[in-house]
């Protein structure tokens, strides 16, 4: 079994990774929207 210190480190890492994925998803959406907008020429 993992001790409490390991769980705190894993929880902190998990929180950081989820945050990066959230901002990454938003960034991908914005980039995709910009590309579609540029291709459409409007």
Helix residue spans in the chain (DSSP H): 4-40
CA angle 20, 35, 19 (to 5 degrees): 5
Record the pTM: 0.65
pLDDT at 2: 64
**Each residue's pLDDT tens digit, 16-29:** 999 999 999 999 99
Q: How far apart are CA 21 and CA 30, in angstroms?
A: 14
Q: How far apart are CA 12 and CA 6, in angstroms?
A: 10
């Amino acid at each position: 079994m993992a001790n409490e210190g390991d769980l705190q480190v894993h929880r902190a890492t998990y929180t950081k990774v989820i945050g990066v994925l959230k901002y990454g998803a938003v960034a991908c959406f914005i980039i995709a929207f910009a590309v579609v907008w540029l291709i459409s020429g409007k």
